[in-house]
Structure 1
Amino acid sequence: MEELKRAVAKEALKFIEDDMVVGLGTGSTTAYFIEYLGKLIMEEELEDVYGVPTSYQARLLALEYGVPVVNLDEVDAIDIAVDGADEVDPYLNLIKGRGAALTMEKIIEYRAGTFLVLVDESKLVERLGQKMPVPIEVIPAAWRAIAEELEVFNATAELRMASKKDGPVVTENGNFILDARFHRIDDPLDLEIELNNIPGVVENGIFADIADIVLVGTREGVKRMER
């Protein structure tokens, strides 16, 4: 599986040109992309390329591999954003947020001229929610009330707990993550909007109608899906 991730990360480099501002996503596949991007910059095969990170992880990796970093408020536009996904349906709707960076990811990727998604074939699903819950970033004081509100959507929600610290996962924005499992997601865009209308919800991990290109690592090579 790691080889498939590396293959799509290398393929993504073909979309990067001189003088680009690149949104840098969060996760294991995007980590390979940042590594390879830094190598091209250091070898001067790319010039004047700047990265806008979606998380501390992406920022630290960019600094480690020599990708110049700028903040979102320092750029007028983002040419392309490159990120992974936890699920991709046939219409290129996504579930993202396993790395708990969904809010900044969505801000940057909605703003990008092109949103390029990197996944391996295990992430392809017929319908969103088949394998993964929908992460929802919530104000800490409201998490229990929001979990109860999600029952209206026939969803069960669990507060995401940290693995190497006591207590819940805390996002870079100081919030909690609820992982919500829905019985069925028929209209991802409608559900994305409805979830964000719940008071106390900061953002949710449904990325509907946003991905432009998805590169899929398969055992037969990298395949390309477009909207």
Structure 2
Amino acid sequence: MTSELSPVDRAKFASAARAAEFVEDGMRVGLGTGSTAAWLVRCLGDKVRDNGLKFRGVPTSTRTAKLAREVGIEVITLDEAGWLDVTIDGADEFDGDLNLIKGGGGALLQEKIVATASDKMVVITDPAKSVETLGKFPLPVEVIPFGMRTTKTLIEEALGSMDVSGRDVTLRMDGDAPFVTDEGNHILDLHLGRIGNARQMALTLNQLPGVVENGLFIDICDVVVIGHSDGQVELRDVTSGGAQRQRPDAPKTDNLFRDLDG
């Protein structure tokens, strides 16, 4: 029951349960990566099992693919899907224009490819991820291993002319070794504090040799579903700019779904 969950888990469940309502029979659905996305996959698995919901999911990581199969969701590749009806994913930050920073879980490349191949992107999150200006969360940049030190230097030089509060660049680690993405790349985390011009930042980074993709999602998200610890959800739509408050049904289980970290 929701009363047995922590406030953070109640908020995650609330946003995931509401976002699951965007999925209808016959859809091709992008499935995000992270702890909140794991709640979504479990909610959709319940709908498949209990309500006979039939859809095909395109996971954005091997972790999400594994979980989706475990709960009975049919998994296909993006190439098999061709195009998606909706992608539902989490975010590390979002601003008033629904621009995002993503990649805290290390799946930003697949997440951005899947999101941009969708008619709609829905983000599930909590109030703590809302910011006036992007940049408090370190910006992930996926880079190829070859010449990584050179790529890091190029990024640091580019930041010198950018409107940011900080310019520290660190290699993401997994224990004693560099973190490796599903594509065999590494991630540099940019500790910027504030990004004055996110669009310029995204374009500049992707022009640098060695950079594969960055974690700025500009003009991609359509709806943000914000879960609250009291079980209510707030919907923000990029088109209307308005917000709605709702309360989804309580979960049937107290499973915290902590198998995926976001």
TM over 0.5: yes
Match of 2:152 among 143, 147, 151: 147
Which one is further off, 75-84 or 185-194?
A: 185-194
Identity among equivalent positions (%) equals 43
Tell me the TM-score normalized by structure 2. 0.82
| Cα deviation code 1:124-168 (max 9, x no counterpart) | 1111012x11001101122211221222314221000103xx311
Match of 1:27 in 2: 34
Give 1:71-82 correspondences, 5 Å limit.
71-82=77-88
Match of 2:19 in 1: 12
Match of 1:222 in 2: 233
Equivalent-residue separation in structure 1 for 2:128 and 2:184 (angstroms): 31
How far apart are residue 69 of structure 1 and its match? 0.2
**RMSD of aligned alpha carbons:** 1.2
From the CA coordinates, give the structure whose radius of gyration is larger. Answer: 2
Ranges of 4+ aligned residues in structure 1 off by more than 3 Å: none
Equivalent-residue separation in structure 1 for 2:111 and 2:103 (angstroms): 9
Equivalent-residue separation in structure 1 for 2:51 and 2:97 (angstroms): 37
Match of 2:187 among 156, 177, 190: 177
Match of 1:91 among 97, 100, 122: 97
Match of 1:133 in 2: 138
Give 1:198-217 correspondences, 5 Å limit.
198-217=208-227
Equivalent-residue separation in structure 2 for 1:24 and 1:147 (angstroms): 31
Higher relative contact order (CA 8 A, sep 6+): 2
Secondary structure at 1:43 match in 2:
helix
Q: State whether residues 24 and 82 of structure 1, in contact with CA within 8 Å, keep that contact through their aligned partners in structure 2.
A: yes
Match of 2:245 in 1: none
Residue type at the aligned position of 2:115: E
